[in-house]
A and B are shown apart, each in its own frame.
Chain A
Amino acid sequence: MNPDYVALFNALRPETALVLGALAVLGLDMAIDRRRPVGERQRYALWVAAIAIAAAFVPAWHGPRGQVFGSVLVLDHLAVATRLGVLVLTMLTLGVIRAAPVRHPAEYIAVMLFAATGLMLMAAAQQLLLAFLALELASLSLYVITGIGSARPDAAEAALKYFLFGGMAAAFLLFGFSLIYGVTGSIELPVIAAQISVQGTNPILLVALVMVLVAFGFKVAAAPFHLWAPDVYQGAPAPSAALIASASKLAGFALFTRLLWPGFHAASGSAATFAGGPGWLPAVAVVCAASLLLGNFAALAQVNVRRLLAYSAIAHAGAMLLGVMAAGRSGPGPLFYYASTYGLATVGAFGVVTTVAISSRCEKISDLAGLYRRSPFLAATMTVYILSLAGIPPLAGFFGKLMVFSAALQLGGVAGPAGWLALLAIALSAVALYYYLIVVKQVLVADPPANSGPVAAPAATKLALGAAAALIILLGLFPGVILGLFQ
């Protein structure tokens, strides 16, 4: 390999912009008087971060494509789309921060930019070492912003639980990677793929694949590795929870899809029948079914809004795993569309919950009662997000489901296991409609509590929430905009 550092720097301009932005946020906070009010420091930090993300957007859109630095990074359709998606979701999360005063604003926002850097590298990594480092950069940053944003004991407990599960997942991932390195003699995905197609599967490789699957099941909150998700979504500061639920999930699925299909496709087993030798598809199918069932049924019992969103996230992770299984045949387009539009709706829902919490408690679903009178704007956007999560046309959530399920049904018709899973997911969408409509009913129909006043949202939050809702509607009307990225 002949290292080409100019090309590497050129390809990593978006990440460079984010890191410089994070340092500028910290530097500016040092330069201005730290005894100024927290709100003012937060406003400066948000402006610098927003400029950094906007600066990262241009090279992420126009930057070079193809293999970079040997085959360490690959900037294909999936990588470019995921980087743009991470940037958009992080930008929207900044709008949520405006409504949720965090304790150490500059440090918080800087670490959030580091997390976004890690997520963007995850999207482009094509080598196990870079994949591990990017994943750890993102994870460690996310543990930190779960803990430092709020002085409540809930946040510390959520961060510790997230860290302990995450550390275990990282150890599983590293052990799995070490076995893959041992079996194939390489850490570059193209070489690994070639080696596996020559050698075929062997027991050590299957152990390694299961360990990698455990780690990614944790990262995307799929059952049975979901135990951290409800506690973290409930206890973490809202912007952290929004980022964990949206951008982290999107980048996790992008890296997972890249590892499984271009990397280990020779060890996949048959998608239509699961016959013809062991592979990772049956294991993914089991995790997918478990997530769909557990997520949807456990969500029925929730009274806390954030825990409801967490179990809904687990259910959506199941549907996205269906998209991963189908990605080998129909490409990552449907999966990306589903994951990115799901991220928009989740960031928006967390934003609304946070904004309501400015003026009154917002923990239970019933705390949203009568939102249409207290703030028509918040009620309208929340309705869009929840209906999109439920999959009501013409919102983006519906087309995401439609594309993922039809891609899964094309794998082997309704007779194969993938087809059964698609039918299960469709049936459970009806179950999901029930708990989503409970939220919509509280927002639009129920009377507001007697002592509640109007909710005033900061302008930046309104802008972010409006942008998320508009994107959901527009991407639902014109799904070709995202799918066109994959042509």
Chain B
Amino acid sequence: MNALQLCLAFSSLLFAVGLAGALARSNAIIVLLGLELMLNAANINFIAFWRFSPSSAPATGVIFVLFSIAVAAAEAAVGMALVIAIYRHQKTIRLPDATDLKG
């Protein structure tokens, strides 16, 4: 395996860990952590492809990552706000208890 393949394997593993956490955990904050791991896996991809590719466009990958880190931060902020909002109503942040809406 060369370095690019190692990076891609690592990022795929990170994405899978994040997805498993987001799907399987019942605590809303752990699910948020899972989402952040998935976004960071994509960021590692961008950096790896930028570092190891002979591409002409110089800094595309790095710039993309800078923007996506900012987006991830905004997303975490909105997510935490929503977790607090639901805690105010239900006094719990366990997702299996959020079952008012169904049908």
Contacts and interface: CB of A to CB of B under 8 A. Distances in A.
Interface of A: 128-129, 132-133, 136, 140, 143-144, 147, 153-154, 156-161, 163-164, 167-168, 170-172, 174-175, 177-179, 181-182, 185-187, 230-231, 234-235, 302-304, 307
Given A129-B64, A185-B57, A163 B49 contact: no
29 contacts: A132-B68, A143-B78, A144-B81, A153-B89, A157-B90, A157-B98, A157-B100, A159-B82, A160-B98, A161-B98, A164-B35, A164-B95, A167-B22, A167-B35, A168-B19, A168-B22, A170-B71, A174-B42, A174-B43, A175-B41, A178-B45, A178-B46, A178-B64, A182-B49, A185-B56, A185-B57, A231-B101, A235-B101, A302-B103
Given A143-B82, A185-B53, A234-B101, 6 more contacts: A132-B71, A159-B82, A168-B38, A171-B18, A178-B64, A182-B45
Nearest to B45: A178
B9 interface: no
Contacts of B63: 129
B74 interface: yes
B42 A144 contact: no
Contact of A185 (B35, B55, B71, B102): B55
A175 B38 contact: yes
A199 to B, nearest CB: 14
B18 A156 contact: no
A156 to B, nearest CB: 4
Q: Chain A at the B interface: mostly helix, strand, loop or mixed?
A: helix
A146 to B, nearest CB: 9
A154 B98 CA distance: 9
Contacts of B98: 157, 160-161
B38 A171 contact: yes
B67 A133 contact: yes
Interface residues on B, range: 35 or more
A163 B78 contact: yes
Contacts of A174: 39, 42-43, 68
Contacts of B67: 129, 132-133
Contact of B103 (A140, A159, A179, A304): A304
A167 to B, nearest CB: 4
A167 B49 contact: no
A175 B68 contact: no
Contacts of B39: 170-171, 174
B49 A181 contact: yes
B60 A167 contact: no
Nearest to A136: B71
A164 B83 CA distance: 10
Nearest to A165: B22
A140 B75 contact: yes
Given A160-B82, A160-B98, A167 B45 contact: no
A156 B78 contact: no
Given A170-B39, A302-B103, A187 B78 contact: no
Instruction: Identify which of B32, B79, B95 gathers the most chain A CB atoms within 10 Å of its CB.
Output: B79
Contact of B60 (A170, A186, A234, A303): A186
B95 to A, nearest CB: 8
A160 B45 contact: no
A156 B85 contact: yes
A97 B27 CA distance: 34
Nearest to A166: B75
A171 B35 contact: yes
A163 B79 contact: yes
Contacts of B64: 128-129, 177-178, 181, 187
Given A147-B81, A147-B82, A175-B15, A181 B101 contact: no
A158 B101 CA distance: 8
Contacts of A303: 103
6 smallest beta-carbon distances between A and B, as pairs: A171-B38, A178-B45, A182-B49, A153-B89, A185-B55, A174-B42
Contacts of A163: 78-79, 82
A181 B42 CA distance: 11
Instruction: Identify which of A167, A235, A302, A303 gathers the most chain B CB atoms within 10 Å of its CB.
Output: A167
B17 interface: no
A177 B78 contact: no
Given A171-B18, A171-B38, A156 B61 contact: no
A154 B68 contact: no
A302 B98 CA distance: 21
A9 B15 CA distance: 38
Contacts of B48: 182
B9 to A, nearest CB: 13
Nearest to B61: A181
A157 B101 CA distance: 8
Given A178-B49, A181-B49, A164 B31 contact: yes
B55 A154 contact: no
Contacts of A182: 8, 45, 48-49, 53
Contacts of B68: 132, 174
Nearest to A178: B45
B43 to A, nearest CB: 8
B79 A177 contact: no
